[in-house]
Structure 1
Amino acid sequence: MPHPLGRTPSKIIAVHLNYRSRAAERGRIPVHPSYFLKPPSSLAGDGDDIPRPTGCELMGFEGEIALVIGRRARRISPERGWDHVAHVTAANDAGVYDLQYADRGSNLRSKGADGFTPLGPRLLDARALDPAALRPRLVADRLP
Structure 2
Amino acid sequence: MIVQLKKGDTLVRVANKYLKTYSQWREIAQINELDIFDDLPVGKNIKIPDREELKKLLDKRQAEILASTQKDVKARLTEIAVSRELRSIAKTLGVDTTKLIKDLDLSPLAKKLPNASNSVDEVWNLANWIL
Range of TM-score over shorter length: under 0.3
Q: Normalized per residue, which structure has more helix?
A: 2
- With the length of structure 1 as denominator, give the TM-score of the two structures: 0.21
More contact order relative to length (CA 8 Å, sep ≥ 6): 1
Bigger radius of gyration among the two: 2
